[in-house]
Amino acid sequence: MSDTKHKSAVWHYMPNCRIPAGKSLPKGFIRYAAVVAYDGNSFCGFQRQKHSPSVQQQLEEALSYVANEPVIVSCAGRTDTGVHASHQVIHFDSSADRSGYNWMMGANTRLPDSVSISWVSDMADSFHARFSATTRTYRYVICAQKTRPAILAKGITWVRQKLDVELMNQACQHLLGEQDFTAFRGSGCQSVSVFRNVHSAEVYHSGQLIVFEITANAFLLHMVRNIVGSLLTVGSGRKPPNWIAELITQADRSKSAPTASPSGLYLVNVSYPIHFKLPESVEGPVFISRKEERV
């Protein structure tokens, strides 16, 4: 083996990195996972930014206080500006040996009201919030009525026109399976592949609200909001359900509808192999009924 190949095969630990098979965290370090919920209205998104407050910044400051040392966190999915989460999963490495209860309660005393940790546990070195995840589920909450809602105005998306849920559901069938989702890919997306595998997609009523729910192995930048924009076009009767299939075939973002508002979007579940023993999500937000409670 040449020197170049030998050097490229050397693995170096970095905080929160993916641990290769046969390797482990540095001695004295523990990998922890946590479940986090947040209202995204006050943040520029999950990822830390220099110009605006982020969810990551709030979590790192709170967890660093508990650890009495700097803590860096990694998440299952980087939500955008204004997007919410009822079940985001993060992980972090620390030499601080704390119980899950102490991490959770200590951090929550330092977090703003818009961010909350509901579970923390130490994990196997092989766990990674992003790379160990098998699926992510988002819900998009819509209020379709003539007048704007006063309650939850920044937690739902308001549209003036009536929406045909059955037509939107028919359109959802064209999203299923592994496909090229260029038509719903946001500009600036850095993903190497445009293919994603959508496991399920449906639209349903929850009381007076309309919910779009989608589960996939992963999502492109703005993918859910771009899909919602086009589903609203179908639901209002301006395009037929098979228009979604045409958009996917054409693979041209300029032909699909404008991006929907971030206000109604929630990350509600991240699934992992059962051996990691993460808690089951209740798939919020709290004002949306569970599937088994639907009429």
pLDDT at 11: 87
pLDDT in tens, 148-182: 999 999 999 999 999 999 999 999 999 999 999 99
| From 32-36, 151-155, 195-199, the region with the lowest mean pLDDT | 151-155
Per the residue annotation, which of 3, 80, 125, 164 is the catalytic one?
80
Please state whether 237 falls in left (phi above 0), alpha (psi between -120 and 50) or beta. Answer: left
Of the pLDDT bands very low, low, confident and very high (cuts 50, 70, 90), residue 9 is: low
Instruction: Kindly tell me if the per-residue pLDDT of 250 is higher than 90.
Output: yes
Mean pLDDT of all residues in 142-150: 95
Domains (range + CATH), the chain: 3-123 (3.30.70.580), 135-273 (3.30.70.660)
Cα(244)–Cα(198) distance, integer angstroms: 14
Single-letter amino acid, residue 4: T
pLDDT at 5: 46
pLDDT at 282: 87
For the chain, what is the HEC assignment? CCHHHHHHCCCCCCCCCCCCCCCCCCCCCEEEEEEEEECHHHCCCCCCCCCCCCHHHHHHHHHHHHHCCCCCCEECCCCCCCCEEEEEEEEEEECCCCCHHHHHHHHHCCCCCCEEEEEEEEECCCCCCCCCCCEEEEEEEEEECCCCCCCCCCCCEEECCCCCHHHHHHHHHHHCEEEECHHHCCCCCCCCCCEEEEEEEEEEEECCEEEEEEEECCCCCCHHHHHHHHHHHHHCCCCCCCHHHHHHHHCCHHHCCCCCCHHHEEEEEEECCHHHCCCCCCCCCCCCCCHHHCC
Of the pLDDT bands very low, low, confident and very high (cuts 50, 70, 90), residue 4 is: very low
Instruction: Kindly tell me if the per-residue pLDDT of 267 is higher than 70.
Output: yes
Mean pLDDT of all residues in 75-97: 97
pLDDT at 290: 62
Mean pLDDT of all residues in 107-114: 98
Q: How many residues does the chain have?
A: 295
pLDDT at 109: 98
Mean pLDDT of the chain: 94
pLDDT at 291: 60
pLDDT at 289: 74
Instruction: Kindly tell me if the per-residue pLDDT of 114 is higher than 70.
Output: yes
Mean pLDDT of all residues in 173-194: 96
Q: Of 78, 93, 95, 69, nearest to 36 (Cα)?
A: 78
Please state whether 124 falls in left (phi above 0), alpha (psi between -120 and 50) or beta. Answer: beta
Instruction: Kindly tell me if the per-residue pLDDT of 2 is higher than 50.
Output: no
pLDDT at 193: 96
Mean pLDDT of all residues in 203-219: 96
Catalytic residue flag (residue 80): yes
Of the pLDDT bands very low, low, confident and very high (cuts 50, 70, 90), residue 292 is: low
pLDDT at 3: 44
Q: How many other β-carbons are positioned within 10 Å of the β-carbon of residue 275? A: 8
pLDDT at 51: 85
Which is it for strands 177-180 and 195-206: parallel, antiparallel or unpaired?
Answer: antiparallel
* Residue percentage of the chain with pLDDT more than 70: 95
